[in-house]
Each structure stands twice: as C-alpha cells, then as structure tokens.
Structure 1
Amino acid sequence: MIDRFRLPLAVDVEALRADLIRLGDAGWTPHFNRDYYDGDWSGLVLRAPPGHGDSLYTGGGDGVWQDAPAMDQCHGARALLEQLGLDVRSVRLLRLGAGAEIKEHRDYGLGAREGEARLHVPIITNPSVAFRVRNRPVDMRPGEIWYLDLGQPHRVHNAGPTDRIHLVIDVAANAQLRTWAPFDQVDPEVQRVAEILNATSPETSARNFAAFRERMLSDAALHVELAAIRDRRLFIEETVRLGVESDLPFAEAEVETALIDGRNRWNQPWS
C-alpha cells in the first residue's frame, strides 16, 4: 500500500492563515507525548470527542465527535471540511516550532488498513522542514492536502527559522476518500527496488554490500540518516534502498547477517 498521496483538491490557504490570526497565541497546548519530541510541538483542538476539547489526544469518545469552541473562529477550516464532504473525526492545528524535532514513532491503529486516514494541510511552513515517512521525505507545500500513513515510522525536523503549522484532519477511509487516494496501489519506490534486487546475483550482492559499508564509514550524511532510524525492519529496508540509490544493490539478507554479527560481537566477553 502507498504511505503518501497528494489529494487532487485545492485549498484556500489564505483563509486558513486568517483563522490563525483570529485564534492568536492563546490556548496552544503542548503535545502529550513528551518522550517523542524536543522543542515546541503544540496544538489547538478544533474537533474532538465530547469533553476532550482541551486535549490533543484523538482517542476516546466512543466514536462521537463534536466541534470545539476554537472552531467558531476558524471559518477557513470549517469551509474546507464542508468542501471535503468526508466523515470527519478529529481536527487539530499542530505547530512545530523553529528548531523543534519529532522523533521517529508510529501512530498505531492509524491508516487506511484500519479504516482511518490522517490528512495534513500545510498552512505555514519553510523549505527546511523535513517530514519523513518510512525515512523518505514528503515535500508538502501550503495549499496542498496529503494523506500520510502515519501508522508507519515517521519523524519531522523543523530546521528552519519559522514555525511550521499544519491543519491535521482524521477522517474515515471511506469510498469517497478512496476516489481521491488509491490506498491499495503498490508503492512505486518499493516496486522499483524489488525489480533491481531480483536482477542482482548473490555474488554481486555480497560485493556491493561490502562496498556500501565502506562508503557509509566515509559518508557522514549517510551515516546520520541511517542512525536516525529506530525501527529495525525499516532500518533493513532503508539500508537496502539506499544501496540501490548508490548503484550498489544488495539483498536484505546481507544487512540481517551484519546486524546479527554485530550483536554477537557485542555480546562476546571482553578478553
């Protein structure tokens, strides 16, 4: 399945920015998952379960949702929701401050497979915001609407000088949404890598992996990129993908063996 898709819809981003001006700086709540970020990651609730209008947590409520008081000032957001015509659940404004970082994590139970989709609408951003899903960057610009499968490992770093603010909308992954987002489409990047690996012999795979390991030791950026991945399965897949990008295709088994060998060496008693 795909993990990202830009919906073919236009957004009145100036109306959303007018919402932010009316809301001002009051009422922004720090995100509750303190272990997952450094810096300012905060938000305003626009739609939530009854009695949860002051919490960024999107669970609870037994499937009942209602607008929070802040929605009364968000004419642009309300118009966008009406334009979408979807089964809307949670709606929040999420702000990632300048220099802030959200560490790699998964939002379990969220994704088209589970019947729920998260849409991101950038309102204010800058070129130095790096939003990665399964370690691959998603280039989202103001006025666009993106479906992201955030049940997959993802992380964000705002290395720019200004805050990044997105309107984040959780909706049912129903038939209407599926007319816009082909959830069941094979990820073209995964397919491309698989085709290249199928054409690579075991002998070439072993040589290429040895060469890739040498390259990683001398390439600081590559080392940092892989070191940021916490999920073991994703680490293996991304090491393979980056090998393909480096014209050094090798099989996942090469990485698996290296990881096991590294752990065994670590566990050996000191001599």
Structure 2
Amino acid sequence: MDNTVTALAGQIAQLDSVDLAQLERMRHEALTVQAPWKAEYGAYQSGGWWTTSLMNVSGDAADVTIGDCAAKPTELLAQMPATSALLDELGLNYMWVRLARLEANAFLWEHRDYDELDQVERHRLHIPLHTNTSAFLVTGGTKVHMSGGRIWRLTPTYAHGVCNLLGPDRIHLIADVYADDAYRRLARHPSLHPGTAEPLPSANHAVLAERLQAARNIAELGYTEAAERMLLRLFYTYALPEGAAYDLIAELHTSLGDMEAATRWTAAKRRLLVLTA
C-alpha cells in the first residue's frame, strides 16, 4: 500500500460511490436554490467560506453553528428533493447537515473540530457537489482533492485546513452523523486510492526564515494582515509541524515589537488547535 495512504489512515477515506445521475441533480439543486448562506466561524477562515443548513436543531437554514441534536429538516431541504432523497436513502443518524461553499482564493485555516461537543462517537461525511482540482484539503502534511462521485469521511479531530486557490466555487454537502449500524455499514470498506493524496514538500529552517523575512518586509510597509496571511498560507504549501504557521506569525509580531499581537496569535493557536498548554 502507498506509504502516504497508510499514513492518512483514520484521517480521511472514501466510503461509497454516489449515483452520478442523482449527484448531478443534487449539484443543480445546490447551485440554483435560494439559500441563506452565512459566514460563520470567522476565526477559522480568510473570508469566502459560507454555509447553510439542510438539517439542524431548529429547522432554520440560517442556523449554522453546529451542535449536538436530533436534527430535523430545514425549509431549505424541502426545496431540494434529490438531496433529501439521498439523505433518506443513507438512513443515517444525522447530527447536522450543511451545504458549504468555498470561493476562489479562500481558506479555512489550520484547525480541529468537535472539541466543544459531547464526547460521543460521530463522523463527518463530505459529498463533493461542485469542485475543481485547485480546491483541496490538507491534513497530516498531505493535500487531498476530494473528487466527486464518492462519499468521503473526514476525521476533523486531526488538524486540517481547506483551500480553493483558483475557483470556481467548491460546494460540498457536509453531514455530521452519529455512529450507528447504518453508519458502520456505509463505512465497512474505507479506502483512499493511491494518487489521491499528494505529500507536501518539507520546509527547512532556511526556507521558513526566508518566508518570515518576506512577511516582515510586507508588515513594515504597513500591510500587516497580508503578512499574516502569507504565513498562514504556508500550511497549504509545505508539510509543517502542527501549529507552525501560527508560531511564525507570533514570531513576526515579536520581531516587530508588538507583544500584544504575538500573544493574540499564540492564543489563537491554542484555540483553533484545541491545545490546553
């Protein structure tokens, strides 16, 4: 088995295929439905990441802050019969179901999920509806393009991030589900095809020092946010130690004498990666 695939075992996998005709109907629904897209979880993203709920606790599609619940359909799902039919066919115990749209040149920064939820077994499923090869997930120092036609399982308690470099918009159906017999049947043969995952190159000390100096040059011109984003984007270019991009930003602000900003980014690292120390 490919060493990269072995290293990602448990982090991301393909579970089952989706009928392509049904997938095309779902894609059409996602692209044409009048959805109340919301920009939630601002600390996690660059801007350009939008979600809307198909199943949740309230039945309101604009309610997108996920939590444990016995999910019920929203008014939006009632307008999406092909999507509703697939969710019914899977027969899973849904915690929350969303559409997630990531625009071109948009990023979800390195983070972990689920820490604030009850400690029960749950899983996150992705069904890509509209995507492109410049949209990919990074986890474990490896980038994975989640291609269409499959149900993917992501384990979001591992540090991960997502980007869409060039566009068009990447739209996924994301279902958080509780483990039960229906889920175990779906997940009985997880796989990750060789060639799906691409290891990112390592960044040595000299490369990181060069990038840090480039960021400092930009910050000294007054473009501090651009400098921070330059360093955050290294996560999608190199296989970095966990949280290294946040450490570099804190180091940047320390070198500029802004200890308040350095402390803020150190705290952001702890919060986004769920670190206790």
Displacement after TM superposition at 1:131 (Å):
0.7
Give the alignment partner of residue 18 of structure 2, picking from 5, 10, 31: 10
Counterpart-to-counterpart distance in 1, 2:169 and 2:190: 34
Counterpart-to-counterpart distance in 2, 1:43 and 1:129: 17
Letter in 1 for 2:161: R
Q: What is the SS of the residue equivalent to 1:156? A: strand
Identity within the alignment, %: 29
1:53-64 paired onto structure 2 within 5 Å? 53-59=61-67, 63-64=69-70
- Tell me the residue number matched to 2:84: 78
Give the alignment partner of residue 27 of structure 1, picking from 32, 36, 40: 36
Name the CA shift for 1:184/1:124 in 2 (closer, same or farther; >3 Å).
Answer: closer
CA RMSD of aligned residues (A): 3.4
* Deviation sequence 1:176-198 (CA, Å, 0-9, x none): 3223325999xx9xxxxxxxxxx
The answer to whether the aligner puts 1:37 opposite 2:45 as a matched pair is yes
* Deviation sequence 1:48-91 (CA, Å, 0-9, x none): 0026542211115xx33211110111112111112211112211
The answer to whether the aligner puts 1:48 opposite 2:61 as a matched pair is no
* Deviation sequence 1:179-228 (CA, Å, 0-9, x none): 3325999xx9xxxxxxxxxxxxxxxxxxxxxxx95886799889951458
Name the CA shift for 1:106/1:19 in 2 (closer, same or farther; >3 Å).
Answer: same
- Tell me the residue number matched to 1:159: 165
Counterpart-to-counterpart distance in 1, 2:241 and 2:166: 19
Q: What is the SS of the residue equivalent to 1:72? A: helix
The answer to whether the aligner puts 1:180 opposite 2:186 as a matched pair is yes
| Alignment gaps of 5+ in structure 2 | 1-8, 195-202, 212-233, 246-277
Counterpart-to-counterpart distance in 1, 2:209 and 2:141: 21
Name the CA shift for 1:21/1:128 in 2 (closer, same or farther; >3 Å).
Answer: closer
Counterpart-to-counterpart distance in 2, 1:37 and 1:228: 20
Name the CA shift for 1:104/1:182 in 2 (closer, same or farther; >3 Å).
Answer: farther
Counterpart-to-counterpart distance in 2, 1:160 and 1:35: 22
1:144-155 paired onto structure 2 within 5 Å? 144-155=150-161
Give the alignment partner of residue 126 of structure 1, picking from 127, 132, 138: 132
- Tell me the residue number matched to 2:95: 89
Name the CA shift for 1:110/1:225 in 2 (closer, same or farther; >3 Å).
Answer: farther
Displacement after TM superposition at 1:38 (Å):
0.8
Give the alignment partner of residue 143 of structure 1, picking from 132, 146, 149: 149
| Alignment gaps of 5+ in structure 1 | 189-211, 233-271
Tell me if the contact between 1:5 and 1:181 (Cα under 8 Å) persists in the aligned partners.
no
Letter in 2 for 1:179: R
Give the alignment partner of residue 225 of structure 1, picking from 238, 247, 260: 238
Higher Rg of the two aligned structures:
1
Query: More displaced, 217-226 or 10-19?
Result: 217-226
Q: What is the SS of the residue equivalent to 2:150? A: coil
Q: What is the SS of the residue equivalent to 2:87? A: helix
Name the CA shift for 1:183/1:22 in 2 (closer, same or farther; >3 Å).
Answer: same
Displacement after TM superposition at 1:161 (Å):
2.8
Counterpart-to-counterpart distance in 1, 2:14 and 2:36: 30
Q: What is the SS of the residue equivalent to 2:186? A: coil
Letter in 1 for 2:128: P
- Tell me the residue number matched to 2:260: none
Tell me if the contact between 1:2 and 1:183 (Cα under 8 Å) persists in the aligned partners.
no
Name the CA shift for 1:216/1:49 in 2 (closer, same or farther; >3 Å).
Answer: same
Counterpart-to-counterpart distance in 1, 2:10 and 2:105: 29
TM-score by length of 1: 0.64
Displacement after TM superposition at 1:126 (Å):
0.5
| Matched residue count | 202
Q: What is the SS of the residue equivalent to 1:82? A: helix
- Tell me the residue number matched to 1:102: 108
